[in-house]
Structure 1
């Protein structure tokens, strides 16, 4: 971000006499005082601790100015912009900066696949445009404006991931960002505890059209009946992706390997390849295809972009265990639909050894959680996945369901028994095997992945 102090003051309608300071350049915005750099604007936010108490650290690290909403006295002889709410001020500043740079905005939401889709869209659009995307999982009311304020001034296409836990959150993000293009990856069960049903989740995801420009594009899965009544009558262009001929972008898997998937797309003369496995990743790629087409990219540019894809860490990532076994790590988040998609792909992958699965609790599923965990059992068969390790309280019901079929080859561990899980897994995992790990981020399966990689 490159703005002047006076420009920022006007954009956020600062309440104090900011003209007492001569105007100067401000470069960058941070809410973490530890990573402030010279010239940055410090935005103290309320969290586990009040960010205002770290103003001295921010100054030591080179902060040029700061927002201020605390009742405590602001530091003397330091450029302060008094506002009613520092987060609201950062959000307002991001709207100003977005309008000033005026890139095309692409908003992506969905119950699963948001980050991978964001990566694919960025890979495709970067073939022709200067792009910037949400870094990591900065996809909420703090992360989205933070992302906007960090985009380079040459950005032509801004890809924003939009996450949510509750109704109304996507509406806020979409209204703030005013996307030119919006996409919904899928409707699963994530956060059903707060939204009541898949219908409630579909309605919450459709809030992405609240800020979508009238001339914009909405991309939705063709095979999701819950979205059909919600897209009826929209003034924006609506296109679909999926496996059926009715989809605007119809895909078909041609070949899938451990580290790639080849597929066809309706209207394309040749196959496309993505460097990740699974038909579920093809549907993500179809979104990138559609967005690429919307912005005028050629078939070859889209093909090359997908081939060059680099996905964000912990999303469908192949790694190596210390003993040489293959690890398929997908441990950032999980819901029943996503877990089934991963297992459906994994259970047919060729291997010279055996297949193992480590599955952690899927969180925020509400009163039907145990039933939803049990439903994963249809994708677990001893002749396909030889050993199953279940981790967490909610996985107890799945353990009981599969115990007769798996006998001594299925294991269950409570959350405090992570070390036991690691030791048992290391004892049976052989160099020629492959293991998939999937669970909600809160279960900490990334630690199990790290332990397998660093086995002494």
Structure 2
């Protein structure tokens, strides 16, 4: 990190006499004292635990300075920068650092596919530029400035994922990051409990334009009418992606278990991504459009997509010790996203049976039962022969499927019956079978996947 102690002090408008300490170079920044290394700036955040109480640990790990907003006095010998709010100080420092390092910022949001699109975009841009992207799910008011302050010095293109569960959160992130390019992957039903409707979700996602350069690019799905009235007065270049009447339009050539090939309008080139699903092709269209915006040759875009690495738990193929294949997509879920995954899974070739393990989709509000039940339209016993449902909200889908599936092919478990679910799966599946697992992260299906991988 190219920052000095005095630089940081001026950037955050520290209120104490920080010039009592000689200036020195900061090697990095951490808010988790366990991750501190020599020369780091410690950011004690106030949450369930007050980070100030870990200052001794931070110093022992090698912290050379700290933000400070506690009434308790800091260690006398430790250089500190007193601020009213340590989180805001980290955010202000991130704004300063962006202006100093001047990377081009690409912002990505959406109800589903943010992380996959981020991974694809980074792989495409890395063909020609020094890139850095949001690590894991560091996509909120803490994770985004943290990501900015961790980008390598040579970063030219910074790809930032922006998440939200309430209105005005992406507005803040976009204003902080000031992107040149922004993309909305899709409008689903995630967090509809907080935002009231899909229209409310669309408006919240459009907050990504709050800090978007007037000369920049906004990418939106062509098949989303809710966004149409929200883009009319925008000064930015607006491009669409999708399957019909889109600026970047795809036609799938072949879809296999571990890869999908497609062509786009205006090109004879065959693009291949190492993941299944029409929905992932939509994500790839965003990466292609961004690559084109930065004038990356098409063959390099093709190479980047073919070799991109997916963040863990996003459409990940695994194989159990017995040979059963698992399509694990357990990080988040909403009805639109779950239906897209099931549509793709139902067509995947297998010599055994297809089994769907579906957990609750959280934060869907008063219409949750109706939304869960609607997934039945994408479950056919002739295609997905066994269905295992998990969680309170999935009872609504179970009740609908009772008239569609034979009793022995439909299984339901409460969240307290996780071990019974695992036992059922272990006795149900054979080595030649294929399983898809999809749920909101809060349902903990990743732990069930891990157990199946061990057993």
Q: TM-score range by the shorter chain?
A: over 0.9
How far apart, CA to CA, are the structure 2 residues paired with 1:152 and 1:197? 40
How far apart, CA to CA, are the structure 2 residues paired with 1:143 and 1:275? 28
How far apart, CA to CA, are the structure 1 residues paired with 2:320 and 2:115? 25
Please state how far the C-alpha of 1:335 moved relative to its aligned partner. Answer: 0.3
Give 3-state SS (helix, strand or coil) of 1:23's partner.
coil
Report the counterpart of residue 249 of structure 2 in structure 1.
250
Give 3-state SS (helix, strand or coil) of 2:404's partner.
helix
Q: Tell me whether 1:148 sits opposite 2:142 in the alignment.
A: no
Please state how far the C-alpha of 1:72 moved relative to its aligned partner. Answer: 1.1
TM-score, scaled relative to structure 1: 0.99
Which runs of structure 2 are paired with 1:146-185 in the superposition (5 Å)? 146-185=146-185
How far apart, CA to CA, are the structure 2 residues paired with 1:170 and 1:53? 31
Give 3-state SS (helix, strand or coil) of 1:10's partner.
helix
Which runs of structure 2 are paired with 1:334-413 in the superposition (5 Å)? 334-406=333-405, 407-413=407-413
How far apart, CA to CA, are the structure 1 residues paired with 2:164 and 2:327? 26
Which runs of structure 2 are paired with 1:44-59 in the superposition (5 Å)? 44-59=44-59
How far apart, CA to CA, are the structure 1 residues paired with 2:264 and 2:310? 21
How much is the aligned-residue C-alpha RMSD, in angstroms?
0.6
Report the counterpart of residue 317 of structure 1 in structure 2.
316
Report the counterpart of residue 296 of structure 1 in structure 2.
295
| Number of aligned residues | 454
How far apart, CA to CA, are the structure 1 residues paired with 2:427 and 2:184? 41
How far apart, CA to CA, are the structure 2 residues paired with 1:404 and 1:223? 32
Q: Tell me whether 1:440 sits opposite 2:440 in the alignment.
A: yes
Give 3-state SS (helix, strand or coil) of 1:218's partner.
strand
Which runs of structure 2 are paired with 1:187-206 in the superposition (5 Å)? 187-206=187-206
Alignment deviations for residues 395-436 of structure 1 (CA, whole Å, 9 cap, x no partner):
001001101222221111111111110000110110000000
Report the counterpart of residue 3 of structure 1 in structure 2.
3
Report the counterpart of residue 35 of structure 2 in structure 1.
35
Contiguous gaps of at least 5 residues in structure 2? none
Report the counterpart of residue 415 of structure 1 in structure 2.
415
Please state how far the C-alpha of 1:71 moved relative to its aligned partner. Answer: 1.1
Give 3-state SS (helix, strand or coil) of 1:241's partner.
strand
How far apart, CA to CA, are the structure 1 residues paired with 2:404 and 2:225? 34
Once superposed, which parts of structure 1, at least 4 consecutive aligned residues long, lie more than 6 Å away?
none
TM-score, scaled relative to structure 2: 0.99
How far apart, CA to CA, are the structure 2 residues paired with 1:316 and 1:78? 46
Report the counterpart of residue 282 of structure 2 in structure 1.
283
Give 3-state SS (helix, strand or coil) of 2:349's partner.
coil
Please state how far the C-alpha of 1:70 moved relative to its aligned partner. Answer: 0.7
How far apart, CA to CA, are the structure 2 residues paired with 1:425 and 1:154? 48
How far apart, CA to CA, are the structure 2 residues paired with 1:375 and 1:301? 41
Which runs of structure 2 are paired with 1:201-280 in the superposition (5 Å)? 201-244=201-244, 246-280=245-279
Retained in 2: the 8 A contact 1:129–1:156?
yes
How far apart, CA to CA, are the structure 2 residues paired with 1:281 and 1:432? 25
How far apart, CA to CA, are the structure 2 residues paired with 1:74 and 1:61? 16
How far apart, CA to CA, are the structure 1 residues paired with 2:52 and 2:233? 47
Retained in 2: the 8 A contact 1:221–1:241?
yes
Retained in 2: the 8 A contact 1:69–1:85?
yes
Please state how far the C-alpha of 1:372 moved relative to its aligned partner. Answer: 0.2
How far apart, CA to CA, are the structure 2 residues paired with 1:128 and 1:400? 53
Alignment deviations for residues 261-320 of structure 1 (CA, whole Å, 9 cap, x no partner):
000111222110000000000000000000000001011010000001110000000000
Report the counterpart of residue 428 of structure 1 in structure 2.
428
Q: Tell me whether 1:16 sits opposite 2:23 in the alignment.
A: no
